[in-house]
Amino acid sequence: MKLFVYHTPELTPADKAPDCAIAVDVLRATSTMATVLAAGGEAIQVFSDLEKLMHVSSSWLPEKRLRAGERGGGKVPGFELGNSPLDCTPELVHGRRLFISTTNGTRALQRVQDAATVITAAFINRAAVVRYLIEKQPEIVWIVGSGWEGSFSLEDTACAGAIAHSVVQETNLPVEELAGNDEVVSAIALYSQWQDNLLGLFHACSHGQRLLRLDCYEDLKYCSQTDILDVLPMQREPGVLKS
């Protein structure tokens, strides 16, 4: 198994696809996705285009669907949800499909949707992701951060480092044997520096500060927890994730 970390979808090789792609958008899309499936959501269907989301979801009965739209950290008018995992209670999401479009996370998923296996990761379901990698041993693994509008995102790379760090620990292999690019080593170093204060990292990063200005402190607190959900969102058909 070789791990590759890419800070943004735009940095992934354009002419190939990995055996396993892991999309990461800690604040907050992939945290929300894990939360929805853990709470009994039927599936998650992702869109980069809001109009397409509205068109596709309109064929579903209102009691069987939820629409989540986020742009710039805020909820899109006319949607039931924004991108807060704290809104995704079992009472609301159980048995319903979440149709979601976010600023960054859905773009990352669409970039890697042609990989043999596509899963999503956040700190809250890191252990489930690592367990899958250890059990299945995919040959080439991309961990793709969503970034922010094409630029580097501290929290996504730290989460990539958390995954790689655990794989190193579980396999007892030297990092130079697992790392397919230098970004893996730097991601592990970043996570190692902040692993005992992930909430502090969220306060330091630009998107965390953006969410704090939107009064989303509780979201940051929730997303900074590690290994609290035993769920693995996996693409079952293009753009559709189930556990």
% of the chain surpassing 70 pLDDT:
100
How far is 139 from 115, CA to CA, in rounded Å? 12
**For residue 23, what are its two tokens?**
């999309």
Helix and strand tally (H, E) in the chain?
11, 10
Any idea which architecture 2-236 has in CATH? Answer: Alpha-Beta Complex (3.90)
pLDDT at 149: 85
Which of 170, 166, 172 has its CA nearest to residue 188? 166
Q: Domain-by-domain residue ranges, the chain?
A: 2-236
- Contact between residue 107 and residue 11 where contact means Cβ atoms under 8 Å apart: no
- Contact between residue 66 and residue 81 where contact means Cβ atoms under 8 Å apart: yes
| Residue pLDDT, tens place only, 83-138 | 999 999 999 999 999 999 988 888 889 899 999 999 999 999 999 999 999 999 99
pLDDT at 74 over 90: no
Q: What is the mean pLDDT of the chain?
A: 96
